[in-house]
Structure 1
Amino acid sequence: MAALAAAPISVIVFDAEDRLRFANAEMLRQLDMPADTVLAGRTQRELARLIAFRGLLGPGDPELLAEQLLAVDRSRPHRRTGRRTDGRWFDFISEPLPGGGFVSYAIDVTQHRRAEEEALERNRQLEMALRHQHAGIGLYDAGQRLVRHNDAYEQVLGLVPGTLRPGLTLEDVHRHMLARHGPDPLILASIEERARIDRTRPHEEIRPLPDGRAVRNISRPMPDGGFLVTVEDVTPLRRAEDEARHRAATLRGVLAALPYGVCVYDAGHHLTMVNDAYQRILKGAELKVGDHLLDICRAREAAGEYGPGVTAEEVYRRQFVYAETPRQRIRPDGTVLSVLTAPLPDGGHINVVADVTALHQAEAHAQHRADLLRAMLDNMRYGACLFDSDLRVVARNDLALTLSGLRADEMVPGAHIDTLRELQFQRGEFGTGAAAAAAYEARTRMIDPRARERYTRTRADGTVIEISSDPTPDGGFVRTYTDITEERRIRAEMEQARRVAEDANSAKTRFLATMSHELRTPLNAVIGFSEALLTDDRLPEEALEFSSAILEAGRHLLSLIDDILQVAQIGSGELPVQTRPLFLPSVLESAVRLVRGVAEVAQVSLTLECGPDLPRCMGEERRLRQVLLNLLSNAVKFTPVGGEVHVSAAPLADGSLEVTVRDTGIGIDPEQLPRAFEPFVQLETTHDRRYGGSGLGLYLARAFARAMGGELTLDSARDQGTTARLRLLRAPASISQEQTA
């Protein structure tokens, strides 16, 4: 009894009269009653209500709970588990006593209950996790029988949900797969391979399924002799791996095709990859995968790759100074390399090398050309300044500073034209007063300063500057400054000299005209007296001969004076011409008839070819006949004995008429042809000239032709004869055409 009183479980004993005979201290503690409380003698109903109201029977109506407790048959063993209102769990055990009555125990099983609940919760969570696991899991015992599996196990194997159940063997699972997929070669090969697997050792493989999926199968042995099978659909992973392999192959192809050398070092500075372009660019200093970067640098230093004074350690440290712009170095063979180093996420780095020898040479050539252009720009005789499309200075020479009145620190690259113009205005480069302000405003209001223009400006010191602007293809313009002060002075002097020369020429013309008129009076008297003497029969033969010579000389001198007078008229711009429609064949026949006698004396053949249907030309008959006589006289005069002179006329495609006088004479050197039309010029300048003349014939012929709206040209070569071409205007059809003699 003493042991029951001290037991850690509550104990109560009722006798056959349903009276409480014993209750130990643990019972009083659970009822939360003082230790000296006496419960003995109380009836079962009283104690049941006490226990119910004290919360030992759990939540609910105490009266109802007490009645449920009294309804228990105490004549038979009874056991139940209940939870008190304070949350603790108890096992209530009732055992009948031999003489009637019963004994009841209340054992605190809260810890065991909580452990069971936690185990159940863990099992529930594991079951939940297993059910939601995307990978299929199947647990087999030592006899290869299925113990447990999740839904994903059937899904991954391609089986209908509910096909598998505990107790099926691994062979049964394989049969279900065959039934589902049919005797597919992939399934048969998979089953055959799995039958040979040693399940006592870990195993892993990836197998394809007939539906195109890839499944990873993992088998792990269990301590009880069974094994755990995990099946996972790795189709996306396999595709990603295939894509990664494809991308890697593509990357390798790209690296192989790149014209740039690429090599990669890992975090330990060992070479992991190098492409063919790198080996080709650095021929003689090739790399090998696995080599350490410092060893590579030392080997290259020993081979003289870096040049004098550059150590391997210096180059090695430089590899880890990552810059955005590449470095350049020149190999011993003269190859110029551009090297760029960049870090990689894994701690390594990549090295990119490009052969820029051609670019380096082009840049050197461009720099050389730029230096030459700069030297040329600086040595120009005029100032030059180049502006871009934003009207800002790009380049200029020093002379541009001098002629624009700006300083070197003002006309700098980037300076805007408006700023420069403002500085010039403040310094008086546009002059002073209202005129300067107006000039400045006019330049400021220009719509487009890039337009092509040329103007002059007089600086404050009197220097005259000519400023030209010409657009450039890029939308900018180049402005040039030329000091034309001396040119203006020379031009003024030349203008003054021209006026003096014109005045002198006018005086000469007036003198020639006056002298011509003054000489004509005595000449007319000489000619008249000579003619009178020739009619006097009383004079001796010798006197008549002298008179004839005087008459001939006088007439020749009068003709010469007439030519000089005409030259004077041409020089003064007073050559009156009255053109009208002429019947050209008549004029030609008249001129040929006048020269034919001279031609016969000179034993030169003279022919005319001209049809009667030739269109009429515009001209003055007297002037035209004089032109033709001058041409024919020259042709006969310069043609040796037995030679020919041929005259023809024909219309041209442009509507004009052309008269051609062709001879077989001595000809003229082509370089002398322009001088043939100058007045008083004899192309034979020796003292023993064979041909006489004043040198005015061709000059007057061209002047008369141009006065009539025509043109006279010569084609000739030494000893090849001369062809004179007289082009005349065709008479309009609306003008009346008169027949001329």
Structure 2
Amino acid sequence: MSGSGTLHPGDPEAGAPDPGAPGPAAPDPGALPGGPQAPSPDTVPAQGVTAHSGLQALASAPISIAAFAADGTLRFANAELLRQLDLPPETDLVGRGLADMLQLCAFRGFLGAGDPEELAREALALDRAQPLRRTVRARDGRWFDLVSEPLPDGGFASYATDVSQHRRGVLDAEARAAALEMAVRHQDTGLGLYDATHRLVRHNDGYERTLGLQPGTLRSGMTLAEVHRVMLEHHAYDPLVRNSVDERGRLDRTRPHEEVRPLPDGRAVRNSSRPLPSGGFLVTVEDVTALRRAEDEARHRAATLRGVVAALPYGICVYDANQRLTMVNEAYQSILRGAELTVGEHLIDVCRRREAAGEYPPGVTAEQIYRQQFEVGPPRLRKRADGTMLSVRSARLPDGGLLIVVADLTALHIAEATAKQRADLLQAMIDNTPYGICLFGADHRLVARNELAVHMMGLPPGMVGPGLELNELRALQHAAGGFGQGPEADALLQLRSAMDLSQPQHFLVTRADGRKIDVHSAPTPDGGFVRTYTDVTEEHRIRGEIERARRGAEDANSAKTRFLATMSHELRTPLNAVIGFSEALLADEQTAGQGREFSAAILEAGRHLLSLIDDILQVAQVGSGELPVETRALHLPSVLESAVRLVRTSAQEAQVDVVLEPPPDTLPRAQAEERRLRQVLLNLLSNAVKFTPAGGAVHLSAAALPDGGVEVTVTDTGIGIEPAQLHRAFEPFVQLETTHDRRYGGSGLGLYLARAFARAMGGELTLESARGAGTTARLRLAAATPNPEPTA
């Protein structure tokens, strides 16, 4: 409904009013058609011609008008009111009470959805002595602007205007913006849009998560430097982040840039920067450490942009058959403030005056505006010099006059421009993301997509557009060979058509050109779903090469292990003969002099070589995974004493003290195999004695661990090892003394076998050392497993 305040003779096109401008008083509701005091046309005095013309204008107005007397009786209703209530044109409403009229409007759905009785009671309770305005939606979907204005005699006038067309325009713009907003919000890829001054304009939650920040940390308007400072503070000024921020702060954002950077938490982030035509740039950040799981872990959030369009005030002006202004209301004068009307002005004079004042756009003449006033049809839009957007609508009156209705659509225009700008920004973000994106509605029709998605589908760009149904899209892909050829392609098409899109979906597609496309589908709260496409061709190629290299390395290692095992067995047979014959010669009393000396040397060398071959055989067993171990709950003190006795002779020859620290009485049993444990201890003690200069000492001790296990420690005062070389000490056939005059012999298998035996028993062996400060070997054994012996 439209109209407010005292009715004045008016104008067609526009001008804001002077609130204090004088004008003729509004007609008395008792004198309106149908009222008890309404005079006949023959008795209307000359002074009443203007008022009578005004009533004719109101009766033909394109907005509904109803006037009520002080007692609540309807005194006037125009034809538009009957049309809006869907009543026959001949229906006579004059004389009905306000309660009866509100009941009629409520049951016709004019007051909105809900209980008609309750809606009518609520409307009846309103204070009609005050101006009222609100916007309602009728049950048939139409939107109406309702206005109630008090009249001087204690009654009031009511106006209703159909604003459905404007409301649909706003809702369509909001829906498009919401769809694009939803597509961006549901991306795990971080997107940050910066303007030409390097200030953050838009970003999604993925932008903060990928940078390691909590969602909500960043806000629009922050400068790039402020974003970098927040990252530094969050990561406690870690050197990795500091270096990354320093380099990114020096980037030329007018050029594309891409890099992969590590974060302190071990993740790797791909950071891309692309300039935009507006002078700003789009930053894309992606966690590439878990690319294949990114879409499955994505959480989709929906954001619905809702707005309320303020109640629109409407202005009314009326020209008589001679095109002179006879009436204008206060709303018209307010809307066109600065271009107000004066009763009695001619329409062409109004148009010329406004042309001279610069009211019309450049190139638009007064004569053109004058002719437009007589064009009855859809509303005409015009923008004033002050930026106000007007909707102008004309209607011819039965007496040859002209009615013009003006509405201020500035708020609606700004809302549409803002929604379009937001939609354009979101579309720019989608178009610049490195992934293909398609958003489908609840009806499985395409709402939005970027060109990269069409390319990854294997279809030409012109084939895929908004409104395309999912099964139609699949049919296009099938025809283009996207599912393969023959019966297999038909079966794959049926399988995809049977997918439950209300649940997350993930599958890999191989295109006809060999590309591997990773496809993720995730539902959205409105019943639709978002589908993303990622080209993983290079990733699959690299993975294949790595797998082939791994198999080759395993085959080579297996061949080496088989060779060592075979050669060890082959060498043992002749060595046993050499050792046997040398022992026989030493046992023969006739062997004397150099013969006995040579036999002893042969026996010693043979036994050493046999020990080395045994070590190599054990290395082969470790490499093949066939190292036999049978562990049990073992009492350690006796094993420790036995190991010390076995190395004491060689230690005395090297002038090194070997000391066994008395184990505590509460030392628990450990889960181990006695033979393997003794071999580990002998290797550790022999190594310690070998690398400890004369006069040094080796200490062997044992202590309980908090978890019930046991730690055996071998500490020496020897030459030590560089910390950077400790990891090589456990490699087979490695001697850390690499000079040609190496002072210490050995095969380099002792520590390797010791760690292998320790791990086979469920334990762990580690080293702590420094050059010139000795070495400490820590053997941690698991707690003994209870295994009670059966009793009779």
Normalised TM-score (structure 1): 0.49
TM-score for both structures, normalised by structure 2: 0.46
Higher relative contact order (CA 8 A, sep 6+): 2
The structure whose Rg is larger is: 1
